A and B are shown apart, each in its own frame.
Chain A
Amino acid sequence: QQQVKQSPQSLIVQKGGISIINCAYENTAFDYFPWYQQFPGKGPALLIAIRPDVSEKKEGRFTISFNKSAKQFSLHIMDSQPGDSATYFCAASKGGSARQLTFGSGTQLTVLP
């Protein structure tokens, strides 16, 4: 049973455009939702994270929108740049812990120059 469903599998965006990646979860016990960015041959790097007490969190060009009732959260990348081209993973964990994460299947983002 896939507990965190991520879409789309791949995304192509023009430079300056908005990239949107969506995730949906099933386990209502999840209470920590990070997004990771991974470049080829590298480990994932924490990009931004949110807890369910807020509906939105913004850090620079990256924004997480969180809808608790729909059990969905999304990553928005504003003014997308070619350097943002990478694979993005959403994840979720429970019990207030950021440790034992359940990952989404990943989205390969390509930003065209």
Chain B
Amino acid sequence: GAVVSQHPSWVICKSGTSVKIECRSLDFQATTMFWYRQFPKQSLMLMATSNEGSKATYEQGVEKDKFLINHASLTLSTLTVTSAHPEDSSFYICSASGPLGNSPLHFGNGTRLTVT
């Protein structure tokens, strides 16, 4: 079945540094990928929609200059948290679906980011 791989699974970084998270669709081409943020015991909050070959669409309240998204190929999207601060510590999850509009959405295993 379809698999979405997310890397790294966890990362610890110092305040002020940048962190890149990768999301890959392993056996299908994903024209659209989604990035979510999840706080402990809470639901998934959609941050942005990543479209291959074009600019990402950010949800209201999400800083596009802080959360840089690049979707350079049909199988890879990256999220870079720039100048990270402790309040950026969270669980970040990507998802992707196949080319058809009714293709199911598959999620990566998430990245636990801790900013010290």
Contacts and interface: CB of A to CB of B under 8 A. Distances in A.
| A, B in one complex | yes
Interface of A: 32, 34, 36, 41-46, 49, 89, 95-101, 103-106, 108
22 contacts: A34-B104, A41-B112, A43-B93, A43-B109, A43-B110, A44-B107, A46-B105, A46-B106, A89-B44, A95-B101, A97-B101, A97-B102, A98-B101, A98-B102, A99-B32, A99-B97, A99-B105, A100-B49, A101-B46, A104-B43, A106-B41, A108-B41
Interface residues of B, number: 24
Contact of A42 (B41, B49, B95, B109): B109
Contacts of B103: 98-99
Interface string B23-52: 000000000101000000111101001000
Interface in B4-36: 4, 6, 32, 34
A46 B104 contact: yes
Given A43-B6, A43-B109, A44-B93, A96 B104 contact: no
B31 to A, nearest CB: 10
A32 B103 CA distance: 11
Given A46-B106, A96-B101, A103 B34 contact: no
Interface of B: 4, 6, 32, 34, 41-44, 46, 49, 93, 95, 97, 101-110, 112
B43 A89 contact: yes
Nearest to A39: B109
A53 B108 CA distance: 30
B42 A105 contact: yes
A103 B101 contact: no
B99 to A, nearest CB: 11
Contact of A96 (B32, B34, B102, B109): B102
